[in-house]
Structure 1
Amino acid sequence: MKQNNKIPYYYILAKKLDLTGYLENFSHFLARIKPPHIEGDTQRHITILESLESIEFTPPPPILPLQHHLTHLKKKGFLHKIDIFEWVKLWRYFLYLKELKCEGAFKIWLDKIIFPDSILEIEKQFSDNGDFKQGIYPELDSYKAILENAKKDKQKSLYVALHQESLRPFLVDSQLHFIDDEETLLLRAGFNAVLSGEICSRSNSGFFYVIPNSLSKQRHKIQEIQQHIAHLEYRILSNLSSTLNKHLPFLGFIDRAFDYFDQLQARIHFAKNKNYEFLAPSQTQQIILHSFSHPALNNPRPISIDFSKSILLITGVNAGGKTMLLKSILSAAFLARYLLPLPLNATKSTIGHFKNIEAILDDPQDVKNDISTFAGRMLHFSQLFGAKNQYMLIGVDEIELGTDSDEAASLFKVILERLLKHKNKIILTTHHKRLAALMSKNPSLELIAALYDEKNRMPTFSFLQGTIGKSYAFETALRYNIPADIVQEARKIYGEDKEKLGELIEKSAKLELILHQKEQQLNEEIHKVQKQRELLKNEIEQQHLDYKKRIFDLEKQYFEAINLAKKAAKETEIANIHQGINNANKILQKLKYDEQNQQVEQNLQWNVGENVKTQKHKGTILAIKGNNAVVELESGLKMHIPLVDLKKNQIQKPKSTARVSLELQKKHRVGGVSLDLHGLRHDEAIEKLDEFLSNALVAGFDEVLVYHGIGTGRLSFIVKEFLKTHPKVQSFSDAPPQMGGFGAKIVKL
């Protein structure tokens, strides 16, 4: 399309898409106004944007355009102090950026900006208010001090004149007034009888602003000093301008670099302010929008649409948002093209790269040029053909506007197919089904319908892909208070067949909507199942790792116990042998105890009344005490059994009526409540004692008797050390004289 030489085409397009407000808001974040386009490699811009997003920095101050300064310097011109200070502000901002901690693509770009020493010297000469710093030019500082004193003397003289007794009747107020940078007195008429002075101006009330003649000498002195200062500053600024002239390439480079950075920083701060996201154009021609809202809408309903095909045909209810959907898709492509932040979910969205965006939205009728609506549309379409007009995104609102719908449908079918051959992407809105019917066989066509709420008789401003929408012209007429009899008569004229066709289209849309909703529900369920599956997979992997770690720890501790036993076997002293064996036994007992507790805590959650079984018995849990359970066996016997030895019994067999006494069962299993260790070697004695205590615990004994004899005392010592470390031994003591005395131990379990 031809562009207006006065108005940039991007602005014309933005106006058509209702994006002028967006661009105005964005411009407030720029240090100086400029078009939104960023020249260069888009991917490079995105990379720098991403690295810049992670840095906290202050936006640049407002800086005037400096291109005319460069032109002036090229002609050996002279820059004023205020002009040079604009450059100083620009330099200082880049020096500030260089002090920040930054990485990535932005740091690489920033490191390429290297300041000449003479430029840095100029920057150091200016204060924050744009004046020369004191101490740089002593002669200038001296004249400024003299000027300041002269102004103070003049002000004192004014105050003396202000407080003259004879002048008081003529004073309007007791203030000093600045008129054309001169301090004056505000006096009534007749003041010249007591004061000679020069009238500078008159107030709205008819009073006079007067400079007393007595100050003329001081005024002249001040003017002379100011001329000296101006002459000195002219010499200084001439030298500075001459220095700048030597660095014109650098000045041009730094000015362009500032414009580039200004574009990036404005986008970042604008995105953070609006909570928008960046989406760079992709190399495909897909347009997938997720939760996009047009920036011009208040409280918009976000849209999600998959426009992967070449042509999108939007049909449906009047005033249902078809045009705004068209503008939204074009707007998203427009903003992505200029790397401007968008109100959407960028991670789930994709926007292709298009050479140009064309919006045919307005009625092109022009009385002056004798162009009708349809003729204007034809003129617009004719400009879209040509070898250069490829890879465009074209949006057309009410494509059949201005002529017979059936004829236009046939014509536009051919036009659209020709445009598609040039690899263009097209979005259309229409109320006529004829074009949809003609294009329906084209695999590149995607249908979308604006939905209508029949219950409330109003559009829903939501859309459904894959179907043709009904226009609801009659319903819309009723909604806007057209008499019902008129609408009814129109329905008759419209014809029953076409009305039925409309109903079929409507039912199809409803079925599509139901199918879409069920598909969403199914996708949500699949997502939940996949998530649970992933969690279970992670849990299994973690348990596998924990199991491996546990095995490793057990093997390590077992090897430690074995090494201690081997070391003890090599000892020559009996006491050292006993001590080594005891240490090894402690490790083994601790491992056994920890393993039992871990199994109980992790795997066995038993309840009273549950049916259980061991290797030899089956029964029911009567009570749980610590890590043991009181189990009533099928024979009627009650036993204390460790929880780790129990398994669930799914099939419950009827209890036997035969009952056996607890005492007989215990004796049969344990062989008594006493153990004689006389004559055994130390390792045999410990093995027998360990087995005896285990059987006694299973049998439910609370107290047993162990004979070890007196002898040399070694067996007695080993027995006592073992009993101290056994986890199930509550206490032990020497037996009474009649039961063995010091040669036996009573052990409480």
Structure 2
Amino acid sequence: MPIEKSSEKTIIQKLDLDGYTQQFQKFLAREKPVAMMGDINQHYRYIQALSKVQFPTPNPVPNLERELNLIKKQGVLSLDEIYAFITMISYFNTLKTVGFTEPLISWIQGIEIPEEIIDIIGYFTAEGEINAERDQELFKLERAIKQNKIEIKETLYKLAHSSKLRDYLVDTQVHFNGGEETLLVRGGFNNAIKATVAARSPGGFFYIIPQSITHLKEKESALLSKKEEMIYTYCKNISAVFFKWERFLGFINKEYDRFDHYQARVSFARAKEYEFVLPSKHKRIKLQDFAHPAIENPVPITMDFSKKIMLVTGVNAGGKTMLLKSMLSAVYMSKYLLPFKCNAAQTEVGHYKSIEAVIDDPQSVKNDISTFAGRMQEFAKLFSKEDAIVGVDEIELGTDSDEAASLFRVMLDELRKKGITFIVTTHHKRLASLMAGDDEVELIAALYDEEKRVPTYTFLQGSIGKSYAFETAQRYGVPAAIVNKAKKVYGEDKENLNELIEKSTSLEREMRMKIATIDDELKSVERQKQRLQDEELKLQESHRKALATLENRYNAATKKAREALRAQESAEGRRLLNVAHQRKEFKQKEVKLKDEVPLKEGDKVKYRSHKGEIVAIRGKDATIIVDGLKMRVPLGQLKRRGDTPQIKVKPKAKEVNVNVEKSGASVSVKLLGMYADEAIDTVDKFLSDALVNGLHEVQIIHGTGGGVLAKLVTEYLKKHPKIQKFYRLPGNLGITVVEL
């Protein structure tokens, strides 16, 4: 069958994919071109869906284009040709029972087989013969043929063991010769038996048909003729039905090919553990752990090529040509959705309209053309192409490398403007030096192991490689003395240049390894940072839920208090309930202040390992005193000292039973040693009792200390609605006088 070609050889042959495609063809039910017509994205979805299920293997079916044309002309098909159509239709019937997912299920279930065709399927056995059990006359005829064969066999057996023929028999077996049952005898047999000679053996013996079974053979011939007539009648009637459903048969023939494309690819991928890569819209070839199918134990290729020209230099026999073939092979296999070995998750292959390979030496005595002239012919053809990817091996082959470098530099520039992408290999550094500064040129160096003195078959992007011609010659058996002499002729300056190239390549490789290590460490830090951020979010969410729970409990408690007040109305109870609401808002503000209040003058802080106090703040800097010395430091480097008195918030308030009654009240209250919440609660109760008992002046003893309690009391008294005025007693005695 025809397969897409490039120049004189097919592209698959140039890329060493002929063995690969031959293996793939074995999975097809019938031979066909590799390419699939239609939307490649749709094909990919069907292949992916088919990869998820087990399905029956289709039976081999011949190409039926001739038979379809015969049906259109109302011709009569043979039984085998009819059964080929029945095989395809029966297979789709079987597929309807497979547990497909979309889009396969809609496609397969949507194929409706006409009832007349389904009825014809029932006439055939699994061997492709007409089922005699459905036709009484045919059944009797086949039984008569079978019985006649038994009689022929028994007659020949008796003759083979008869005494009159014993001396002439070569053996006692029944031999089939030309479809006839015969006996093998020596010359002179006509003295013992009347028979017809069917053929002569290489040993000079005779295959004979005894006259005694002639009438049985004639009977068999008549029975077989009658059966052929019956079979022809079946074929004629079925062909007439097929003519009626000719369009359906053409449709099912195409759909069988389509499913065959899908199933062959999936089965091939499963057998070889290959992956599918859908072509992308970007002109990029990114391979991860790619292995060319023609190599038994390949070194996996990892390469990222997104520019217009890839220029591969480096060691002889180091894999430059195979890299070129691998890149183009990946494009070819991806273009036709053929699976291959790679890390599909990290592989991306762009779509190109055509693939060209300028690889072989085009020199031909017959066509009177030189190597370089042949190359020029191939390049001339490229000027008529667009959106192509072209591989060129040994680009300066056949002419002066300096002249060729200049020529190819210009041609590559012009051709890439037409949307053509190039992968080029070369041993000459002239072209590489001319193109090294171009942003659209990717330099690739094939690497060499200096210690082991062998190619590594690995590649370094962004560098020019040394050819290692002398080392390669010595590795393949050229005497060391010859190689050393050649080095002298070559010149020390050029050899030094090669050493500089290799040193540059080694440094580049070392730098990239370090960068890769740093990238891995950075990724690890990023993962740790993300983990901490996730934990912080979880803690914030937990804190929010806890606050919500406390607020719900508080609301429930106040609701019960209201219900109690409704049952026994009390003005003082109402006042206490209002105070509870105010205290709730006050506590929430305290919590917020504790989390968000900025540092201010007078705060005790810690700077590194020193303790100090803020005396002034200017912008983002603060002036602090540490051990009697003033210093100016960034605010961000200061932390509030743990020994600084802070407003402490109780995690959960104890349940309070409110009982309102008049009792004796004190004219003073001591807050010394109390926490903030406890002090405010005490002051609130103290003032309530004083108001209830008609007191006009009371004292609150909060002490001097750090002044925290004094500040809290002052803030609370400012907001109390029943206080006329308050003031501190002179002499810093730590007492506040309140007038009610």
Instruction: Name the structure 2 match of 1:99.
Output: 97
Alignment match of 1:413 (pick from 392, 409, 412): 409
Per-residue deviation, 1:248: 1.3
The answer to whether the 8 Å contact 2:389/2:420 transfers is yes
Structure 1 residues 382 and 557: CA distance shift in structure 2, 3 A: same
Alignment match of 2:117 (pick from 114, 119, 127): 119
Instruction: Name the structure 2 match of 1:154.
Output: 152
Instruction: Name the structure 2 match of 1:134.
Output: 132
**CA deviations over 1:484-514 (Å, ceiling 9, x no partner):** 3332332233223222221211111011000
Alignment match of 2:426 (pick from 417, 426, 430): 430
Alignment-mate amino acid for residue 16 of structure 2: D
Per-residue deviation, 1:280: 1.3
Instruction: Name the structure 2 match of 1:313.
Output: 311
CA distance in 1, matches of 2:368, 2:310: 32
Alignment match of 2:295 (pick from 284, 294, 297): 297
Instruction: Name the structure 2 match of 1:225.
Output: 223
Per-residue deviation, 1:309: 0.6
Specify the SS of the correspondent of 1:135: helix
Specify the SS of the correspondent of 2:92: helix
Q: Where do residues 323-338 of structure 1 align in structure 2 (5 Å cutoff)?
A: 323-338=321-336
Alignment-mate amino acid for residue 366 of structure 2: K
Specify the SS of the correspondent of 1:165: coil
Instruction: Name the structure 1 match of 2:173.
Output: 175
Q: Which moved more, 1:133-142 or 1:313-322?
A: 133-142
Alignment-mate amino acid for residue 475 of structure 2: R
Q: Where do residues 717-728 of structure 1 align in structure 2 (5 Å cutoff)?
A: none
Structure 1 residues 478 and 561: CA distance shift in structure 2, 3 A: same
Structure 1 residues 504 and 234: CA distance shift in structure 2, 3 A: same
Instruction: Name the structure 1 match of 2:450.
Output: 454
Per-residue deviation, 1:244: 0.7
CA distance in 2, matches of 1:563, 1:161: 118
Structure 1 residue 471 corresponds to structure 2 residue 471: no
Per-residue deviation, 1:442: 1.7
Instruction: Name the structure 2 match of 1:191.
Output: 189
Alignment match of 1:165 (pick from 142, 163, 167): 163
Alignment match of 1:237 (pick from 235, 238, 248): 235
CA distance in 2, matches of 1:481, 1:323: 23
Alignment-mate amino acid for residue 325 of structure 1: L
Alignment-mate amino acid for residue 239 of structure 1: N
Q: Which runs of 5+ in 2 are unaligned?
A: 565-641, 644-740
Structure 1 residues 190 and 547: CA distance shift in structure 2, 3 A: farther
Q: Which runs of 5+ in 1 are unaligned?
A: 569-649, 652-749
Instruction: Name the structure 2 match of 1:251.
Output: 249
Q: Which moved more, 1:29-38 or 1:215-224?
A: 215-224
The answer to whether the 8 Å contact 2:2/2:33 transfers is no
CA distance in 1, matches of 2:150, 2:553: 94
Instruction: Name the structure 1 match of 2:263.
Output: 265
CA distance in 1, matches of 2:2, 2:85: 30
Specify the SS of the correspondent of 1:89: helix
Structure 1 residues 403 and 559: CA distance shift in structure 2, 3 A: same
Instruction: Name the structure 1 match of 2:518.
Output: 522
Alignment-mate amino acid for residue 249 of structure 2: L
CA distance in 1, matches of 2:342, 2:192: 77
Alignment match of 1:215 (pick from 213, 235, 248): 213
The answer to whether the 8 Å contact 2:314/2:464 transfers is yes
CA distance in 2, matches of 1:185, 1:566: 121
**CA deviations over 1:309-334 (Å, ceiling 9, x no partner):** 11000001111111110111011011
CA distance in 2, matches of 1:193, 1:540: 113
CA distance in 2, matches of 1:299, 1:556: 69
Instruction: Name the structure 2 match of 1:47.
Output: 45
Q: Where do residues 379-390 of structure 1 align in structure 2 (5 Å cutoff)?
A: 379-386=377-384, 389-390=385-386
Structure 1 residues 536 and 186: CA distance shift in structure 2, 3 A: farther
CA distance in 1, matches of 2:409, 2:484: 34
CA distance in 2, matches of 1:194, 1:535: 104
Alignment-mate amino acid for residue 288 of structure 2: H
Per-residue deviation, 1:164: 1.9
Instruction: Name the structure 1 match of 2:479.
Output: 483
Per-residue deviation, 1:376: 0.6
CA distance in 2, matches of 1:224, 1:501: 93
CA distance in 1, matches of 2:58, 2:30: 10
Instruction: Name the structure 2 match of 1:75.
Output: 73
The answer to whether the 8 Å contact 2:331/2:349 transfers is yes
CA distance in 1, matches of 2:532, 2:201: 88
Per-residue deviation, 1:300: 0.5
**Alignment TM-score, normalising by the size of structure 1:** 0.72
CA distance in 1, matches of 2:11, 2:266: 23
**Alignment TM-score, normalising by the size of structure 2:** 0.72
Alignment-mate amino acid for residue 117 of structure 2: I
CA distance in 2, matches of 1:567, 1:183: 114
**CA deviations over 1:407-456 (Å, ceiling 9, x no partner):** 11111111000001101110111111111111122210110100111111
Specify the SS of the correspondent of 1:304: strand
Instruction: Name the structure 1 match of 2:63.
Output: 65
CA distance in 2, matches of 1:564, 1:161: 119
Instruction: Name the structure 1 match of 2:668.
Output: none
CA distance in 2, matches of 1:362, 1:401: 10
Structure 1 residues 7 and 31: CA distance shift in structure 2, 3 A: closer
Q: Where do residues 526-541 of structure 1 align in structure 2 (5 Å cutoff)?
A: 526-539=522-535
How many matched pairs? 568
Specify the SS of the correspondent of 2:430: helix
Instruction: Name the structure 2 match of 1:498.
Output: 494
Per-residue deviation, 1:547: 7.0
CA distance in 2, matches of 1:428, 1:550: 67
CA distance in 2, matches of 1:554, 1:150: 102
Structure 1 residues 558 and 264: CA distance shift in structure 2, 3 A: same
- Report the identity percentage: 45
Q: Where do residues 394-409 of structure 1 align in structure 2 (5 Å cutoff)?
A: 394-409=390-405
CA distance in 2, matches of 1:214, 1:559: 117
Structure 1 residue 36 corresponds to structure 2 residue 34: yes
CA distance in 1, matches of 2:213, 2:495: 97
CA distance in 1, matches of 2:308, 2:290: 20
Instruction: Name the structure 2 match of 1:585.
Output: none
CA distance in 2, matches of 1:233, 1:518: 79
CA distance in 2, matches of 1:215, 1:550: 106
CA distance in 2, matches of 1:537, 1:385: 57
Instruction: Name the structure 1 match of 2:364.
Output: 366
Per-residue deviation, 1:235: 1.2
Specify the SS of the correspondent of 2:409: helix
Specify the SS of the correspondent of 2:164: helix
Per-residue deviation, 1:370: 1.5
**CA deviations over 1:193-235 (Å, ceiling 9, x no partner):** 2221122123333332222111111111111111111111111
CA distance in 2, matches of 1:499, 1:93: 69
Instruction: Name the structure 1 match of 2:203.
Output: 205
Structure 1 residues 328 and 422: CA distance shift in structure 2, 3 A: same
